[in-house]
Amino acid sequence: MSKGHPEQQPHPSDAALAVSTHNLHVAYESNVILHGVDVDIPVGQCVAITGANGSGKSTFVKALMGSAPVTAGDVELLGGSSRKNAKRGRPIDWRRIGYVPQRPATGAGVSSSSLEVVRSGTLGPKQWWHPVGSKKRAQEALKTVGLLHRQDVPLQVLSGGQQQRVRIARALVRDPDLLIMDEPLAGIDHHSQNKLAEIVGRLKDAGKTIILILHELGPLEPHLDRAIHIANGHVEFDGDPKDLPGVHAENHHHYPHPADMPSEDRFMGGQID
């Protein structure tokens, strides 16, 4: 992925950045959640964002997605800025970003087939018709997650792990450069967790930048380049996942209940859950 000279690899700080936050503050009225968070994630990295419930990690994701009240600082994704009044630069291109929300407790109420769910990811705001070639793209995305043979099966009858893989396929249908997944291991069995880890590994090998919001690293740990731990609205740790205490594979046994999630409407044509 490096664009440096073959004889010298660039330092991460010199690489093209997929995500960059500068002095990021988020507050709900007088309640300040994030306190001047500075995070740079180079293109091609696979990064875990960890933290306890209430630590600010979910708020950090919402700030990236533009659904949290940023009171100071800036968010840049793939070279685009969240600043509405910026005189320089360009806005964020949400078509280049895929988002997988936390999995709900059940797929009940979603009678659409897996193919229909994935294909809906090709729609955008105020776009009611599928673009040409969307079915083929949806099938390719399902093939990527190993569920092409289940394309005609309603989402609600699939297992929890399979439902999660369909949602990942939906996020991949536009072939995004940046993929953000919120608690992808939550509520699924160990076999499904391992399957998801395999998918993440293949996406990483394909050059995708991946951000994973995790309560625990679990089987995803071998694929991580880096872990960023948020506590009390501050970055408490940023480094090798092996040096991050308390959230390793041997400890995976509990995940928080899904909370309110950032909207995906602006780049995925509405929620499916």
Residue-wise pLDDT tens digits, 127-179? 677 788 899 999 999 999 999 999 999 999 999 999 999 999 999 999 999 99
| pLDDT band for position 273 (cuts 50, 70, 90) | very low
Residue 126 lies in a domain: no
Residue 168 lies in a domain: no
Average pLDDT of the residues of the chain? 83
Cα–Cα distance between 21 and 133 in angstroms, integer? 35
Residue 196 lies in a domain: yes
Instruction: Note down the domain range covering 64.
Output: 12-105+177-268
Q: How far is CA 106 from the centre of its chain?
A: 20
Range 56-60 contact pairs with CB under 8 angstroms and sequence separation of 24 or more: 56/26, 56/230, 56/231, 56/232, 56/233, 56/234, 57/213, 57/230, 58/182, 58/213, 58/259, 59/26, 59/33, 59/34, 59/233, 60/24, 60/26, 60/34, 60/230
The answer to whether residues 15 and 45 touch, using CB atoms and an 8 Å cutoff, is: no
Q: Looking at residue 84, what is its pLDDT?
A: 61
pTM beyond 0.85: no
Residue 16 lies in a domain: yes
Residue 147 lies in a domain: no
Q: Looking at residue 104, what is its pLDDT?
A: 66
DSSP state for residue 154 in the 8-state scheme: B
Q: Looking at residue 250, what is its pLDDT?
A: 41
Residue 243 lies in a domain: yes
What is the total count of domains within the chain?
1
* CATH number of 247's domain: 3.40.50.300
Give the pLDDT confidence of 210-263 residue by residue, as tens digits: 999 998 899 999 999 999 999 999 999 999 999 997 765 444 433 333 333 343
Residue 260 lies in a domain: yes
CA distances from 62 to 71, 99, 182 (A): 13, 11, 10
Residue 95 lies in a domain: yes
The answer to whether residues 98 and 180 touch, using CB atoms and an 8 Å cutoff, is: yes
